[in-house]
Amino acid sequence: MQSHLIDIGVNLTDKQFSKDRHDVVERAVEAGVSTMILTGTSVNESQHALELAREFPQHCYSTAGIHPHDAKNATESCYQTLKELFQAPEVVAAGEMGLDFNRDFSPRPVQEKVFQEQLQLAVDSGLPAFCHEREADERFCTIVKEFRDQLPDLVVHCFTADKKALYQYLDLDLHIGITGWVCDERRGTHLHPLLKDIPENRLMIETDAPWLLPRSMEKKPKNRRNEPAFLPWVVKTIAEQTGKTFEQVAEQTSATSRAFFNLDQGEQ
């Protein structure tokens, strides 16, 4: 039986894919990844992600937002453009938005303000929020709490933090995105015991391609580029660590993702 996996985080706009996007989508579908959510990380990238979602209408949707790295460039006209993008049926989440206190490419007060502005836009548009958080879980939770009751849903994508952060997120009824980080024997094994703590209806999977190539792959591509076709390796590790079958993890994460992004009207 062919699995129908949903990759909730693909950076298909990245220049690493500029020569072979069609092939990348084709390989993903052949590998059982039937749906991909293309991440928008700035206004320009969000517009590009929407164009690509329209190019591959059977398999792709997109998000629209301003990543914390790009928060310093946010203007009123950016928010206006995001509002317009949210009207497109292909745009299924607001984001990627959030806080990154690890790299601090934008000043922290600016990151926080831009995060708050986008959460309000998500509330106004009725879209779930697709969020980035790195070394900022306390501030992240404080800000999210202000909006949580009005937000349809929120996912902390590419979760790599600790048990304390995970429990804070689950207490706020947030979703958790797990990437190939979980396949990394050098830095991802702390996630293994935590996988059992994430309720089925909160767990989603993603490649974050072209980044985070699963290190558990037997034959890795020479260019070290990750792509959505490699999502099954993430499923395999989650299944091994939770005592579930590959198919159980595939079905549960896909059902959760369809509900989160409200894809049921056009899928299945």
pLDDT in tens, 125-169: 999 999 999 999 999 999 999 999 999 999 999 999 999 999 999
d(CA 159, CA 182): 9
Considering the entire predicted model, what is its pTM? 0.97
pLDDT in tens, 213-241: 999 999 999 999 999 999 999 999 999 99
pLDDT band at 3 (very low <50, low <70, confident <90, very high): confident
Q: Which sequence spans correspond to the domains of the chain?
A: 5-260
5-260 CATH pick, 2.40.160.40, 3.20.20.140, 2.60.40.10, 1.10.10.10: 3.20.20.140
| End-to-end C-alpha distance for the chain, whole angstroms | 15
Torsion of CA 220, 226, 232, 235, to 10 degrees: 110
The answer to whether 23 and 53 have CB atoms below 8 angstroms apart is no
